[in-house]
Amino acid sequence: MNCRHCRSPLEQVFLDLGHAPPSNAYLDAAALRAPETTYPLRLFVCGACYLVQTEDYTEAEALFSPDYAYFSSTSRSWLDHAARFSWMITDRFSLGADSLVIEVASNDGYLLKNFVEVGIPCLGIEPTDSTAAAAEALGIPVMRSFFGQSLASELVDKGSVADLICGNNVYAHVPDINDFTRGLETALKPQGVVTLEFPHLMRLVEFAQFDTVYHEHFSYLSLVTAQRIFERAGLRIFDVEEVPTHGGSLRVYGCRTDATHPTAPAVEAVLAEERARGMETLAYYADFQARADAIKDGLLTFLLEQKKAGCSVAAYGAAAKGNTLLNYAGVRPDLLPFVCDAAAAKQNRFMPGSHIPILAPDALVTARPDYLVILPWNIADEVRAQLAGLAEQGTRFVTAVPELRVS
């Protein structure tokens, strides 16, 4: 396999998590009686451009199916984050009724609805029917397609060039990152702006966030590497912010190379920190496997100890990261009888690989588990607040990343 950005041969393995099914391929009861497809889940780091990336085994169309079960609006904290961004970006770039905002991977309308409410024209690009329909119900126009250079050219032909293109947690999800980035450049007005948010590889390594690795994430990005990809596509990163979402993300601001947006000092500051930590050396990535194994072993030991002690354990959040963790640890319903999730699209289904049943949160009221493992640790504070009543009744909360913590 060659690097999906610079085409250099890939030789350095960053992380090997064995075989796993796609993380969002939730199962119904009938599917439990059928064979389940799994793929190797292995990451390489490119020794030339330092893009960390999955080994290719499956097509994006197989991962992002029409009945895709991830709905962004399930998380209150994420909705608040999106609203704050929309207010800030509207003010910063003076967006109004004559502007066009395009969001790539617009999901269920969690972000664009904020622009609709203030009369700013917008367009969502979303390939999954289930989430696109939810966005359309909010009055958001949606093109049901994957984004890339070809679709961007279609938009230009229709006169739909953007003042702002947003992409929140999509950049890591695209198999052809060069084509996607060229599409961003094509669909922008001469002074248009693109903003992308993606988990920061530096934080992933720092906090051993190996459970954010799954097949739907094709790339794991530093600012150093993102800047290289932008430059090849005729774009320039002129600002960057570090934001707390998903355990530590970057929000990059890009424009065409010849646009007049001044480059902010924050760009060089983040680049300098990445280089100081050694992110452009292979040694930086060398011990990550051992750290992932320690987290996996810690969770498995905890669950085995609770089973031996006769304590009850459940989990909250049927998130993709939870599927990565549970499947790598080999956890099955004998150690974790059920997972609760607020998303109706996941309830009464089963976790891929582990086949742990997914129930509505009301099940926790009846079960009153001794321990509740919060799988989406990035929203652990939100979950604890929502389930404060359980804590009052004696349930203790558990997170496994970056190390096992019981509170």
Domain boundary among 285, 315, 348: 285
Q: Left, alpha or beta for 33 (phi > 0: left; psi -120 to 50: alpha)? A: alpha
What's residue 58's pLDDT?
Answer: 54
- Quote the pLDDT of residue 150: 97
**Distance (Å, whole) CA 210 – CA 401:** 8
Kindly state whether residues 273 and 366 are assigned to the same domain: no
Structural domain boundaries enclosing 183: 146-285
d(CA 132, CA 136): 6
Q: Which residues of the chain have pLDDT under 70?
A: 57-70
pLDDT in tens, 292-337: 999 999 999 999 999 999 999 999 999 999 999 999 999 999 999 9
Same domain, residue pair 202 and 247: yes
What residues contact 94, with CB distance under 8 A and at least 6 apart? none
Both 235 and 363 in one domain: the answer is: no
For residue 360, being part of any structural domain is answered with yes
Domain count along the chain: 2
Same domain, 296 and 275: no
What confidence tens digit (pLDDT) does each residue in 104-124 have? Answer: 999 999 999 999 999 999 999
Q: Give the C-alpha separation, 38 to 26, whole Å.
A: 13
Considering the domain architecture, whether residues 151 and 265 belong to the same structural domain is answered as yes
At 43 the pLDDT is 97
Query: Which of 251, 285, 319 lies at the terminal end of a domain, its last residue?
Result: 285
Ramachandran assignment for 196, one of left (phi > 0), alpha (psi -120 to 50 degrees), beta (any other)? beta
Residue 165 belongs to a domain = yes
Indicate which CATH number applies to the domain containing 277: 3.40.50.150
> The whole model's pTM is what?
0.91
